[in-house]
Homo-oligomer: A and B are copies of this chain.
Amino acid sequence: MSSKLIAIVAGVGPGTGASVARTFGKSYPVVCLARTPESYNDIVKEINSNGGKAIGISTDVSDAKSIENASAEIKKEFGDDVAAAAAIFNASGRFYRKPFLELEESEFFSGLDVSGRGAFLFSRAFLPLLLKGAEDQKSQHPPTLIFTGATASVKSNAFMSSFSTGKFAKRALAASLAREFGPQGVHVAHAVIDGVIDIERTKGWLKDAGEDAKIAPQAIADSYWYLHTQPRSCFTWEIDIRPYVEKWTGFA
């Protein structure tokens, strides 16, 4: 493990984010970004006590100053020549599911603030580190920038506009970055998570759907790791993920 080649995960909570941090933490020092320490403290501690290295930085990804601060912290910790093997944007805004005409402007923009502004600021801050990881193929696996999307990234239902507008925008960003930075050796990918994730908050959901009807966060993390290991002759831009019982949405 090179101490100079790190993984950065934004949106570290108890679900996908923690699993992604744990998985990438087996190969790289991990930087965990979340609004509050409560979100990342446990996983940071766990990684560090298992022989890995992790730090947490309280960050509001939709705020330019806050992202700049995270960048500075990372350089303080890992040096100015730090490079990244992976950057995973897993943050999501609050989700207001209500009739369109009842949406406050701030509610409507909760999605675009995180999935639009946040994804932009995160990419702008950490693509230079990924590019550094791609130089001379320093990173064993091509440096990877992954965006977590949702059903709403490809389908925009009624009452969902505050969520889907941000998700559509994030998908557009991911596609554009893939085309620009792929030829520079950075693998940009987008994951459409089309189902309920199995976390504390969804414990009571889908009770009658049987075992494995909710997506295991670790399985998402494994798929991200797989994307990371793809050689540069074989980059996947987009995968969709859903439980086997899901009445699914998607491209066809």
Contact = CB atoms under 8 A, between A and B. Distances in A.
Contacts of A215: 233-234
Nearest to A112: B116
Contact of A212 (B120, B161, B198, B233): B233
This protein's copies in its complex: 4
A108 B128 contact: no
A177 B216 CA distance: 23
B164 A100 contact: no
Contact of A173 (B156, B181, B226, B248): B156
A56 interface: no
13 contacts: A116-B169, A155-B175, A157-B179, A158-B180, A159-B180, A164-B175, A169-B172, A213-B233, A216-B231, A232-B243, A235-B242, A237-B248, A239-B239
A171 B165 CA distance: 8
A24 interface: no
A17 interface: no
Interface size grouping (class) on chain A: 35 or more
A35 interface: no
Given A172-B164, A183-B245, A226-B226, A101 B121 contact: no
Contact of A185 (B117, B214, B239, B244): B244
Given A112-B116, A117-B109, A243 B239 contact: no
A79 interface: no
A234 B252 CA distance: 18
A52 interface: no
A99 interface: yes
Interface string A123-158: 110011000000000000010000000001011111
B109 A123 contact: no
